[in-house]
Amino acid sequence: MDNILVTGGAGYIGSHIIEQLVKTKARIVIIDNLETGYKKLINKKAIFVKGDIKNLKYLSKIIYKYRINSIIHLAAYLNISEAEKNKKKYYENNVIGTLNLIKCCKSSNIRNFVFSSSCSIYGNVIGPVSEKRKANPKGYYAYTKHESEKIIIKFAKQYNYNYAILRYFNIAGASPTNKIGEINISHGHLFKNIAIQSLKKKPIINIFGNDYKTKDGTCVRDYMHVSDLSIAHIKALKFLREKSKSIILNCGYGKGYSVLEILKIFKKIKKNCKINFVQRRKGDIAAVYSNTKKFEKNIKMRMKFKSINKILQSAIKWEKILKNKK
């Protein structure tokens, strides 16, 4: 029997991955300290354990108890601005937490490790970026992701596990089941903010910087629907089992949209939307979008939500559901 541990499984992306995993025959165990995760996002078909990846002793106990043989590691602090102000907190959780899991791979004979990384490790780039590009993290959050990657790669042969490092681009939207979506507003995600503002009579959107070296001065990002990303994790785990080799993959659609371009689409829904330009966030990069060739070659899947409109509409629909539940 396949026993899969998902760290951060009560969070936004984690809950969507669990939604896909419970369709399989595997036993799914979630570990989450609920600091940024939510009880309401925990899938009842999975086993939930409240715990912290910084606690190696407790982590080892859970992995041993449930005979874990595969790990999907998502648990991390994500706020770019906060990372610059509280580096110790981010290092201990994002880097030491990852190291603890890797130590468990050795002690518990875990063979498959899927890691949630970030395109931010590439730094500022021009044009689509491939996995071969040398990492050049500009902010501290990106630094913690890069350090975690290095730890995973360093110990893979020594501890006899295979890894899939998935470098997320910008993840947005909500499940088509309308049962789960993004709740946390502290991460400053654009689509979450737009969805919140869509329910207001006079929506106001703040854009962090309009003086970047991009086509319209605003940041350019590659947006991917969270449900497509979730399926990519299942496929990555399947790749590790079948191929018995490690891989690093970009997770995006391969097209960059500026913040202003996204807001132009939104203004078709809310014509009275007001836009404010505010100071840049420290740690933000100007532009990054994915070269998807390696992903398409190795991960056979059809992207079901490859549309900015679909992503936006699903985010807004989820926000309406959240509001009605209050």
Contact in structure between 7 and 75 (CB atoms under 8 Å): yes
Q: Is residue 85 very low, low, confident or very high in pLDDT (cuts 50, 70, 90)?
A: very high
pLDDT value, residue 282: 81
Pair (99, 187) in one structural domain: no
Structurally, the chain folds into a number of domains equal to 2
Q: Are residues 44 and 120 in the same domain?
A: yes
Q: Are residues 122 and 147 in the same domain?
A: yes
Q: Is there a single domain that holds both residue 209 and residue 236?
A: no
Read off the CATH number of the domain in which 135 is found. Answer: 3.40.50.720
Which one is catalytic: 141, 163, 223, 289?
A: 141
Q: What is the CATH number of the domain that holds 270?
A: 3.90.25.10
Domain end marker among 251, 272, 296: 251
4-51 tens-digit pLDDT = 999 999 999 999 999 999 999 999 999 999 999 999 999 999 999 999
- Same domain for 163 and 306, yes or no, is no
Q: Are residues 143 and 291 part of one domain?
A: no
> pLDDT tens, 63-76?
999 999 999 999 99
Residue 326 has pLDDT above 70, yes or no: no
What Cα–Cα distance (Å) separates residue 128 from each residue in 48, 169, 220? 39, 12, 11
Are residues 160 and 178 located together in one domain of the fold?
A: no
**Catalytic residue flag (residue 58):** no
Q: In this predicted model, what pLDDT tens digit does every residue of 214-242 receive, in sequence order?
A: 999 999 999 999 999 999 999 999 999 99
What mean pLDDT value characterizes the chain? 95
Question: Does one domain contain both 215 and 110?
Answer: no
**Residue 276, helix vs strand vs coil:** strand
State the CB neighbour count (10 A cutoff) for residue 155. 18
Name the nearest CA neighbour of 130 among 306, 14, 305, 290: 290
Token pair recorded at residue 46: 């999975």
Same domain for 267 and 119? no
Same domain assignment for residues 20 and 148: yes
Tell whether 183 and 283 lie within a shared domain: yes
Kindly state whether residues 63 and 102 are assigned to the same domain. Answer: yes
Domain around 215: 173-221+255-325
